[in-house]
Amino acid sequence: MPPRPKCTREEVAMTALTIVKEDGLDALTARELGKRLGTSVSPVFTLFNSMDEVKLAARELALREFKEYVSDYKEYTPAFKRIGMMLVSYGMHEPELFKLLFMQEHKERQSFAASLGDLDDIGDVCMELLQRDYGMTQEEARLVLEQMWTNAYGLGVMCAMGVCNLEEEEIGRRLGIMFAGLTILLKSGKLEEVYGDVERNSAGTYHGIPVSNLPYVAENAEGEKKMKISKEKQGK
């Protein structure tokens, strides 16, 4: 019968999270875990099969902490912008945890859409907020979420890597400019022209999706490409 562990999985995961937060992911070793827990490495591997499992457990705790960090969005207007601002802020104030959550390579390269899974259910929350507060369709909300995630993620990485240090006002301004540009584009009805430019100047794909298959583009009886949402927008 194997010896009873001197600590619990939760204690090991919390200790691992503390190590990452204070010293970075490279410092998370079995030896350091044992030292912090006041034991040998044996109890760690009694509870976990590998250090990769420990890292995953620490990430789950970090995600829980991050979701708590952004949870005050309900008290703000606009709520969607608040989530973006707190994402960037997390990169600035908790750089090592930001790296653990959002800057780890996946074993298999995945699609851009699949990468949004790193946000867990926060992506779904953002979609709901965009549709509720701005009257966007699901397709519009998806487009805006993807572009704003790219923008906020980039700023967060710059802060986490010490490339720059942004004041809250500047974070809000930079995210606001991008969001305003996207909403103006959607209201203008000229998104089709943007896709057309992509088709003319590339392999005819947008984020790996053939332009002809994008949700905003459809062909009429004459074979001309038209915006699927044009009539809907005209009625608003």
More confident residue, 3 or 75: 75
Query: In this predicted model, what pLDDT tens digit does every residue of 111-160 receive, in sequence order?
Result: 888 888 888 999 999 999 999 999 999 999 999 999 999 999 999 999 99
Rounded average pLDDT over 32-41 = 90
Residue 220 has pLDDT above 70, yes or no: no
- Please state which of the ranges 70-74, 85-89, 230-234 shows the lowest mean pLDDT: 230-234
- Please state which of the ranges 23-37, 58-72, 103-117, 164-178 shows the lowest mean pLDDT: 103-117
**pTM for the full predicted model:** 0.78
Residue ranges covered by each domain of the chain: 9-62, 70-188, 191-236
How many Å apart are CA 234 and CA 223, to the nearest integer?
22
Class level of CATH domain 9-62 = mainly alpha
Partners of 225 in beta bridges:
219
Long-range CB pairs of 120-123 (<8 Å, 24+ gap) are: 120/63, 120/67, 122/67, 122/70, 122/83, 123/149
pLDDT interval class at 19 (50, 70, 90): very high
